[in-house]
Homo-oligomer: A and B are copies of this chain.
């Protein structure tokens, strides 16, 4: 038996079923018309943002990194809640614009921006987080050719990283950002070239659950920003302090203590150096904002027993839930939180494997899980499906196509 991850708090049971925004899993599927289905809760999105606003300094702006979930109704909902969007491609720029977000609230990071993407972003007035000297020169050239001024910041490759993060993005050689010792020269070049200088973006890692690690890293980020600003020779207009706030996926994971993160930031903000005194300070969060607001529902098509082992074969799978299947940047596969949605709260009775419909043993949603008895027709819920689900999975694999998505 292998433990399941922790189900995010406050999911209710109605008539013995998992309910989201008061509607049972069966009703949600009926309303959407099919399984598999991603359900995103507006209330959970709003609640999460309210918790963050409560915990973090008022001065700190919160951006949404839309790569985590670019479903249009999610973007539209988030647009009213956050202070800005972070994008990673011109495709995401179009999505952000479709959601009605003002381009001057958008910044664009990503190591392989093509000329056509730089052109579109500059024309729209988006802030470019430049990833290299070469990219900065291309952007300056494109802006000059268009007779316009580009909004330019520098993404810094810091010499430190976020301890305990799931995905390390700083420290040593990296394809992301400009090594910190080369940042002042590039900043001066950008300023001298007449661009609209927007400051720095310092991203150090993602999916950290330790408040201490985040506090330490945010302190390092502020120190580095101050040092760089002094070397550049002027106060920073803006500092994107990165993100890194994690959510619990696996057994034993505990929720990040955002109150502690907020208190430490308040203290730092009360004593900012002159270089940062008037700086627009923001963080960018993706997974933390939307991850726990989403549930993936898939229907059991077959209950089968092979050599005494129970398999609940669903009509979903890794083509929608690559990370949950343990096949995306994972060394040891562990179970995401999941449940039999149509028997929510029922006592576990047996050990079963929840598998997807693909012809590969990799397609497993829950491994040796302790679950209530379930059969064909029952719905399975995979939680923490709001981030890096639909778009971070190979939806066309085996010709199955994408899952439906709804916001409730």
Taking Cβ atoms with an 8 Å cutoff, the residues of A that contact B are 66-67, 70, 87-92, 94-95, 109-114, 131-135, 157, 167-169, 172-176, 179, 301-304, 306-309, 311, 313-315, 317, 322, 327-329, 331, 353, 355-362, 376, 390-401
Contact = CB atoms under 8 A, between A and B. Distances in A.
A111 B357 contact: yes
B314 A112 contact: yes
Given A173-B307, A304-B132, A359 B91 contact: no
A346 B223 CA distance: 46
21 contacts: A88-B398, A88-B399, A91-B399, A92-B399, A109-B359, A110-B398, A111-B302, A112-B302, A112-B356, A112-B357, A131-B304, A157-B306, A168-B361, A172-B306, A172-B307, A179-B307, A328-B362, A329-B362, A391-B394, A394-B395, A395-B395
A313 B362 contact: no
Contacts of A172: 306-307
Contacts of A317: 112
Given A112-B356, A174-B306, A396 B391 contact: yes
Number of this chain's copies in the assembly equals 2
In the A-B complex, the 10 residue pairs with the smallest Cβ-Cβ separation, listed nearest first, are A112-B357, A91-B399, A173-B309, A92-B399, A173-B307, A391-B396, A175-B311, A89-B399, A132-B304, A173-B306
A306 B179 contact: yes
B313 A112 contact: yes
Nearest to A400: B89
Given A89-B398, A134-B302, 15 more contacts: A66-B399, A92-B399, A112-B301, A114-B315, A132-B304, A134-B304, A157-B306, A167-B360, A173-B308, A175-B306, A175-B353, A328-B362, A329-B362, A331-B331, A394-B394
Main secondary structure of the interface of A (DSSP, over half): loop
Contacts of A362: 167, 328-329
A138 to B, nearest CB: 9
Contacts of A307: 172-173, 179
Contacts of A90: 399
Contacts of A92: 398-399
A150 B145 CA distance: 66
A401 B394 CA distance: 11
Nearest to A375: B134
Contacts of A322: 394
